[in-house]
Structure 1
Amino acid sequence: ETITSRKILGVKRSKQHKSHVLGNVKHSQVLSNLWRRLVKNSYYEVAGNKILFWKDLWIGQEVLMQVFPDLANICTNLEVAVADSWSPQGWNFFFRRHLNDWEVCRFVELLQMIDGFKGTTVEDDTFRWKHDKDGKFSVGRIYRKEVFRMPENKIGPWKHVWKRMAPTKVKCFAWLVISKACLTHEILQKKGLPIVSRCMLCSDARETNNHLFLHCKVTSQLWTMFLSLTETKWSMPEHTADLLSCWIRRGGSKTQKKWWRIIPHCIWWTIWRERNGRNFADRFNNIQKIKESCITTFYFWCKEHCIENAEQLVDLLGLL
């Protein structure tokens, strides 16, 4: 490719490199997905110096090699640039043989398709953003186009992480949880560490992301505590990302909906701190202490963001 994602995005693509944020997701996979979305919403402003006539998307909706594969197969050079195929007198094509009658018709279609080309210039080829008149690309513009204009059910769990009234570091941690990037035993084993996986809270199962934050019997008691407070019946999903996607408060006041949204953040943060305390500081709290820590943390988050009626949570401490 002549104008590559490496040049546009300013980063290197590597099959071996892995993102530190996304854990076991390959960097090349993330970049390829981003590049496809970027290309879909951009176009080439052709000067012709570097863009390939047959292989690059410079006119129409598809590359010419895909639209006219029969003509491309008999072309002598598929790497020819647009500028090398164009002259003030018209287009120059070099085929390995004379065209058959049916190929002449296809050739006419090709000429009609590229008839609107205004000719080459001495300027460089440029990559333009199609959704704004100035054609300039920015991260903010692709963010608004690709996220805010997408249907709600296709946005993904990011909104349920970042649009919540929790400390920034907790939001970052929640993002790691749903990305399965926390350094649980499961991830450490994948990184090659020779450790025996065991849940530090219940000792009944391997320490995986889904087990630790959803299904562990200690964690389950925290979920049950909050669900009982709101008299909510709940069936726990398999994955953490699925939980955030369906963690929606049906009914209740606006105040209840506000503090309902930060419950997963609070539980995950409490569980991770308890897990690390047992793992690194040999500090074991019983379930009563863990519940008190969770409710206390939750209460101060509510007070910090001026969520009304947070005092009712204090009454819950007396019921533990």
Structure 2
Amino acid sequence: MSDLNIDLGSVFVKKLGDGLSFSFWKDIWIGEQKLETLFPHLFSLEVNKDCKVVDHCNLNNGPHTRTWQWRRPVRDGAEKEQLDGILNILRHFNPSSSNDCWEYSYPCIRRHIEGRTLMSVLDPVCWNKLIPLKVNIFSWRLAIDRLPTICNLGKRGIDLDSTQCPLCDDRLESLQT
């Protein structure tokens, strides 16, 4: 995969189950960042920096029971703030009884495949969130010549009485006319 410049970390995502496989501090398993990055003071206090998620979030002790192994008690100030922050993040998290696993992200895989196999002369579509969705779709269909003009309908095998422009009845109705 590395020969094709496919970053497996962006294609496959971790799905946490029982927490036996993922590092509590060093893996991204909750949120968007590693907990060691978000809570550096607590990470420095941790006795076992390679502990697993199950070590701090264990269903056997109750759903919201957290067990910590600090080298000394947490002090007021930044350490206390970080402890409150991590407890706030973990308050809605409950591990499940299923095994940890990896899942793939279909849109990510599709982008990788399309980027390597499909050659497109069009620029990527830039959707504008400030205008209505139907205007974005109309602009996109206009750019790829997919508007239902009489000419395009005829190309798709739709039986029409006439392929002439219904307004002027002079020439073929297409995007250019």
TM range (shorter): 0.5 to 0.7
Check if 1:128 corresponds to 2:94.
no
Structure 1 residues 145 and 116, CA, compared in 2 at 3 Å: closer, same or farther? farther
Structure 1 residues 68 and 98, CA, compared in 2 at 3 Å: closer, same or farther? same
Q: Deviations over 1:262-315 (max 9, x none)?
A: xxxxxxxxxxxxxxxxxxxxxxxxxxxxxxxxxxxxxxxxxxxxxxxxxxxxxx
**Matching residue's letter, 2:71:** R
Question: In the aligned structure 2, how far is the partner of 1:56 from the partner of 1:32?
Answer: 22
Q: Is the 8 A contact 2:14 2:100 kept in 1?
A: no
Cα RMSD (Å):
2.8
Question: In the aligned structure 1, how far is the partner of 2:69 from the partner of 2:28?
Answer: 20
1:109 aligned to which of 85, 91, 111: 85
Structure 1: give runs of 5+ residues left out of the alignment.
1-26, 132-140, 149-154, 161-320
Q: Is the 8 A contact 1:44 1:57 kept in 2?
A: no
- Please give the TM-score of this superposition, normalised by the length of structure 2: 0.54
Structure ranking higher in helix proportion:
1
3-state SS of paired residue (1:90)? coil
3-state SS of paired residue (2:27)? coil
Structure 1 residues 59 and 82, CA, compared in 2 at 3 Å: closer, same or farther? same
Partner of 1:48: 19
Q: 4+ runs of 1 displaced by more than 3 Å?
A: 29-33, 145-148
Check if 1:36 corresponds to 2:9.
yes
Bigger RCO of structures 1 and 2 (CA < 8 A, at least 6 apart): 2
Partner of 2:69: 94
Q: Is the 8 A contact 2:25 2:50 kept in 1?
A: yes
Identity fraction in percent: 21
Q: Deviations over 1:138-168 (max 9, x none)?
A: xxx64413354xxxxxx46x545xxxxxxxx
Check if 1:144 corresponds to 2:110.
yes
Question: In the aligned structure 1, how far is the partner of 2:40 from the partner of 2:6?
Answer: 26
Q: Deviations over 1:183-233 (max 9, x none)?
A: xxxxxxxxxxxxxxxxxxxxxxxxxxxxxxxxxxxxxxxxxxxxxxxxxxx
- Please give the TM-score of this superposition, normalised by the length of structure 1: 0.32
- How many angstroms does 1:90 deviate by? 0.3
Question: In the aligned structure 2, how far is the partner of 1:92 from the partner of 1:44?
Answer: 22
